[in-house]
Amino acid sequence: MENSFVIQELVKQIDRLGKEVIWPAAIEADEEEKFDRKLFSQLGEIGLLGMVGAEEYGGSNLNYSDYVSVLERLAYYSLPYAVTASVSIMVQKMIEDAGSEAQKKQYLEKLISGEMIGSFALSESHSGSDAAALKTTAKKVSGGFELQGSKMWITSGGLSGVYVVMARTGEKEISAFLVPDGAPGFTLGKKEKKMGWKLSPTRELIFQNCFVSETQLLGKVGEGFKLALSALNKGRVTIGAVAVGLSQMALDLSLAFSKERKQFNTLLNQFQGIQFMLADMATETYAARALVMQAAQALGNPQSSLSQKNASALTALCSMAKLKATDVGMQVTTDAVQIHGGVGYTSEYHVERLMRDAKALQIVEGTNQIQRMVIARNL
């Protein structure tokens, strides 16, 4: 009961920010690639960034199903802010689950309050889908490790205060490091010019003799790849939730448009061809939401038979949620542009941006082909 009140209040706050701040600025922010840092801090102030965070660091310790329902609402107004939040929260949870007390003290409060953003750095230019083939190395030196190499397509690169960097500590051994912004030998590479998600910067990270103190090793030496894959289970469910929010907005815009636009002297919503499209968009969005919610419930409940007894069934379910919801996101936003016709192809009506934003969701946190591979392996 208490939780549902907290969730309702959070959704109210997101609706307020969405209607007053995010949506009116969405077209310009996309065109000018303008990330509003103050707005992101407000997401911390209202409690969104700490929803699943530990109470002793300012979090609310709610479960994943509550979290995804609020994240979906943020994505309804802005996919890029929702993705920034979801990746930063993924980093926060990695530190909470695997970090030392000192690391938790150093980072969690800041990530939960929104004072700091976190990035997840696994991919490299030659290892996207085959993540284990990464080449960045971390050599043991006195007092810590020295990182050499580079990371690609890093969400929030340049905005973040901490980067979880997966690097090779041995031929068959990958470890995770918390690399603070400004670490010696750490520089930012080029900012990518992207099709969508324009206000969220995606950058290369470069490590040249980058010294990281041994206090910044996350978990144990050699645990990095498993930590990353286990974090991705959660990340994939949240990406699914983000896709559902995006689909819902595309559907709502299309419904509203079909009630106003006339052709052949008839409102669009009176044509069965349009009605069938809207019916499919709504059905698929509902189905995606249900699957995301089921995965979130399995993640968020330690008593769940799925998460306790069968880790591989949980991994498959998380991948299914990501696969289904992001494929639906692509289809629904494409149909939204089609329903809008010519104006749908212009920026003024928003749906072209939603369609561009949707495409990235089929690629990030493991392409949808990788999700199918993970599902098949775990069947």
Q: Please pick, among 72, 96, 352, 365, the residue that the annotation labels catalytic.
A: 365
Q: Is 226 in the site for ligand CAA (CB under 6 A)?
A: yes
Q: Could you say which residues in the range 131-160 bind ligand CAA, by CB under 6 A? A: 131-132, 155
Q: Could you say which residues in the range 295-354 bind ligand CAA, by CB under 6 A? A: 315
Q: Which is nearer to ligand CAA, 129 or 275 (CB)?
A: 129
Closest contact distance (angstroms) between CB of 366 and ligand CAA is 3
Q: Considering only residues 42, 123, 148, 304, which one is a binding residue for ligand CAA as defined by CB under 6 A?
A: 123
Contacts of 55 (CB under 8 A, 6+ apart): 61
Q: Which is nearer to ligand CAA, 221 or 229 (CB)?
A: 229
Q: Could you say which residues in the range 32-91 bind ligand CAA, by CB under 6 A? A: 87
Closest contact distance (angstroms) between CB of 52 and ligand CAA is 17
Closest contact distance (angstroms) between CB of 1 and ligand CAA is 34
Q: Give φ, ψ of 140 to 5 degrees.
A: -70, 125
Q: Considering only residues 120, 163, 177, 186, which one is a binding residue for ligand CAA as defined by CB under 6 A?
A: 120
Q: Considering only residues 103, 106, 216, 233, which one is a binding residue for ligand CAA as defined by CB under 6 A?
A: 233
Q: Considering only residues 206, 212, 232, 299, which one is a binding residue for ligand CAA as defined by CB under 6 A?
A: 232
- Which amino acid would we find at residue 225? F
Q: Considering only residues 8, 61, 125, 129, which one is a binding residue for ligand CAA as defined by CB under 6 A?
A: 129
Closest contact distance (angstroms) between CB of 166 and ligand CAA is 10
Q: Is 162 in the site for ligand CAA (CB under 6 A)?
A: no
Q: Is 218 in the site for ligand CAA (CB under 6 A)?
A: no
SS3 per-residue string spanning the chain: CHHHHHHHHHHHHHHHHHHHHHHHHHHHHHHHCCCCHHHHHHHHHCCCCCCCCCHHHCCCCCCHHHHHHHHHHHHHHCHHHHHHHHHHHHHHHHHHHHCCHHHHHHHHHHHHHCCCCEEEECCECCECCCHHHCCCEEEEECCEEEEEEEEEEEECCCCCCEEEEEEEEECCEEEEEEEECCCCCEEEEEECCCCCCCCCCEEEEEEEEEEEEHHHEECCCCCHHHHHHHHHHHHHHHHHHHHHHHHHHHHHHHHHHHCCCEECCEEHHHCHHHHHHHHHHHHHHHHHHHHHHHHHHHHHCCCCHHHHHCHHHHHHHHHHHHHHHHHHHHHHHHHHHHHHHHHHHCHHHCHHHHHHHHHHHCCCCCCHHHHHHHHHHCC
Window contacting ligand CAA (CB under 6 A); options: 35-43, 163-171, 223-231, 256-264: 223-231
Q: Which is nearer to ligand CAA, 147 or 278 (CB)?
A: 147
Closest contact distance (angstroms) between CB of 153 and ligand CAA is 7
Residue nearest to ligand CAA (CB): 366
124 is catalytic: no
- Residues at the site binding ligand CAA, with contacts judged by CB under 6 A: 87, 120, 122-123, 129-132, 155, 225-226, 229-230, 232-233, 315, 364-366, 370, 374
